[in-house]
Chain A
Amino acid sequence: MKRRPLEGVRIVDLSMMWAGPYCTKVLAEMGADVVKVESPRAWDNIRTLIPQPGADDPWNSAFYFQEYNREKKSVVLDLAEPAGRDAFLRLVAHCDVLIENYRADVMDNLGLGYDAVRAVRPDIVYVSMAAFGKTGADRDRVGFGPVIELMSSLASLTGYVDDPEPFKTGISYGDPVAGVHAAGAISLALLQRHRTGNGCFIDLAQRQGAAALAGEAFVTAQRTGGAPPVHRGNRSERWAPQGAYQCEGQQQWVVVSCATDAQWQACCGVIGRYDLALLNVDERIARHDELDEAMRDWAASLDAQKAMESMQAAGVPAGRVLDTATIHDDPHLNARGFWVHVENEKMHEFKEAGIAWRFAECDNRVTRHAPFFGEHTSEVLTSVAGLTDAEVDALYSSGVTADAPVNPGIG
């Protein structure tokens, strides 16, 4: 079996929460050796945000942490202590990439800015992914994914018809967007380093990455003299009908989206409304309320899965609104083997999302659960960073490293 593309690449990962960890999850799945570094006093909050009730060490058995930190190793070092910083820099000297998603000033305050790191690893690829970047008038602002959605204009594009309230996505959408951008940037930087021998400092502004996912809205804004975005709910500007229609059962919905005349005519056959079949697209857009009513009447007594399948059988774009339960039972995702189980002695079995980047030829299976807190501290510090056993023991005895967070609470 062919090697994965990033085998041989080592990444030291200071990122926390979701944006950075999502990046390194993806890169670890591609074969990178990712070493996650946390502090005894400042661990990744995701470990304890929603702890598993009754667990002796809940920071090692959180489903949220497990999902986005598989395939990584865990090293614990207090970077605010000189001994911790020294051990960290000895580790960095053997790494290809450093990634962090702290507030813009944190790494410099720790004495671990680009210049300090480059002094021990001249060709390091150093990735900073502050919300608004390291430079510019907004650099001191802080933000999580929903802030990014608001400040990038994405939320302004989302809302119900005739309702000015902007809506955020139901997840912290800015996070995975930034994470995937960072993953691509790291591969490009490694490619460039392979060619030139030079590392680089990547200053990724999460807001910019998010705004790039709405490029046409900026064209529209200039074309319309800066008019605010029009909220269309689930409707399309270009075709009709398109909407989410309630099916039988609690919160079960199907989306139908007729992008062509042929699809609309097929849709009319499915819903039994041949009288509407010859409407052209302009007429359908103008009579959208009426068409929605016909669609609602059709869907109301149907099972959502069957509704989708009947439309698709007729060639009409349709999809069930899969929720956080039904998505795990989706026949297609299961047939593709998307859900995986990764053995973890501290957790019971559950369906975890598999790898989104499917390579036809190389073997990129998920093999290892998210690391326990400090699980690999001794191993990595001795075998990679070159510390002696006595030096590692001293880090433990001084509290610079630990096998459990200090005073863990919720969040």
Chain B
Amino acid sequence: MDFPLSGVRVVEIPGGVASGFAAKQLAGYGADVVCVEGLSDLPPLSDDETTYLTAGKRRVDGSRADVSALAVAADVVVEEGTPGRFDVAAWRRYKPSLVVTSISPFGQTGPYARFSSTNAVSFAMGGIMSLTGDYFREPLVSGGSQAQYFGGLHAFAATATAYLGAVLQGDGDWLDISLQECAAGTTELYGPMTAYLGGDGLPRMGNQTRAEWGIYPCSDGYAGLFALQRQIPGLFAAMGDPELLEGEWLDPIYRTQHAEELVAKMYVFTTDKTKDELLAIGRDQKVPIGVALTPADLLETPSLAERDFWDDVDGVRVPGRALAGLEWRSPDRLHTPGEDTDAVLEEWLA
């Protein structure tokens, strides 16, 4: 099998979810990922996180390994933790083609560089939390560890790009990935709007940003209707309310001025329908309608099985490839801690 990263050696010095996910992606695209454990200054992964993020990687006992020797024997290093733990500049001098990706909550420099963080703290400092949740309640952290996953995703893509640059130009680099900056640059229109127009921070708008852009209860759960102006005629046709097809409701200004009335109509539309019925309407009318699915629901979703999405880790299904078109290596199993120490030291450092 020809993977995009066949033959590429990656050292992961794990810290948390971010480095785990970045290196997991590199492993999936064929890299030989060696996880040098026991060096972290962050809370350990949970058992379920370990099953997902560590499977398919070789695991080395950090107390028995010279991490610098392993780093310069690799093509790529991904590390997460407090800045300044390693002499990355020395690694780069010794091996100029080496790509080193350092992931941290606030980056390698600046007044918060050594601040302590968890996912919730990073989510708060990235700006997205202020926009999430009900205005009359506290701002809400997104489920799972999204600040860390999103930073890890950035780290994966940045590492792949830097490695491509190293192959094309013969010289690697040192990447400084800050979880805060990954989020701060993705506040959609809201951050740029405040920066451009001025004023106070924008309020949380809960599940209904606009009447036609929101989540509503349905008979067996929750559904979301998300229509731009060009999809409004289709949405209103699907709703079957003749009043909505009159011209004034097609005017976005009028809809804004009569938002409460339109929200009420949305409730009427969704409340007596099932999730399946609403999904069918969305597909038939080409209107963006989604329903709130749980992980258990997704495990039974035919489309994902058809697209060969799931990997199997010791009998447990976990998300695998995000795409078709590049070969993906499913993890073989979850290795035990330190299991591969002797083999890796022999292969890489002998």
Contact = CB atoms under 8 A, between A and B. Distances in A.
B243 interface: no
B173 A359 contact: yes
Contacts of A211: 298, 304, 309, 319
B191 A144 contact: no
Contact of A63 (B173, B193, B293): B193
Nearest to A316: B116
Interface in A27-45: 27, 30, 45
A170 B52 contact: no
A353 B185 CA distance: 5
Contacts of A201: 325
A76 interface: no
From B195, B252, B323, residue with most partner A Cβ within 10 Å = B323
Contacts of B304: 136, 207-208, 211
Nearest to A411: B229
Contact of A332 (B131, B180, B217, B252): B180
A226 B298 CA distance: 10
From B49, B106, B138, B168, residue with most partner A Cβ within 10 Å = B138
A191 interface: yes
A29 B292 CA distance: 35
A333 B2 CA distance: 41
Contacts of A205: 307, 322-323
B279 interface: yes
Interface in A1-42: 2-6, 8, 18, 22, 26-27, 30
Contact of B224 (A146, A328, A409): A146
Interface string B111-151: 11001111011111111111111100111111110100110
Contacts of B146: 154, 169, 173, 213
Interface stretch (B58-66, B265-273, B281-289, B340-348): B281-289
Interface in B206-242: 206-207, 213, 215, 217, 222-224, 226, 228-230
Given A246-B138, A354-B185, A229 B143 contact: yes
Interface residues of A, number: 159
A170 B124 contact: no
B46 A216 contact: yes
B161 A238 contact: no
Interface in A220-243: 220-223, 226-229, 231, 233-234, 236-239, 242-243
A153 B204 CA distance: 21
B194 interface: yes
A358 to B, nearest CB: 4
B288 A144 contact: yes
A405 interface: no
Contacts of B206: 167
B223 to A, nearest CB: 8
A121 interface: no
B192 interface: yes
Given A6-B165, A202-B326, 11 more contacts: A67-B189, A135-B324, A136-B302, A136-B304, A137-B303, A144-B288, A183-B161, A244-B129, A244-B138, A312-B116, A352-B195
10 contacts: A50-B193, A141-B279, A157-B142, A166-B222, A204-B323, A236-B120, A239-B43, A253-B138, A324-B190, A360-B175
Interface of B: 2, 4-5, 21, 25, 29, 43, 46, 48-49, 51-53, 106-107, 109-112, 115-118, 120-134, 137-144, 146, 149-150, 153-154, 156-158, 160-169, 171, 173-178, 180-182, 184-197, 199-207, 213, 215, 217, 222-224, 226, 228-230, 252, 279, 282-283, 286-299, 301-304, 306-307, 309, 316-326
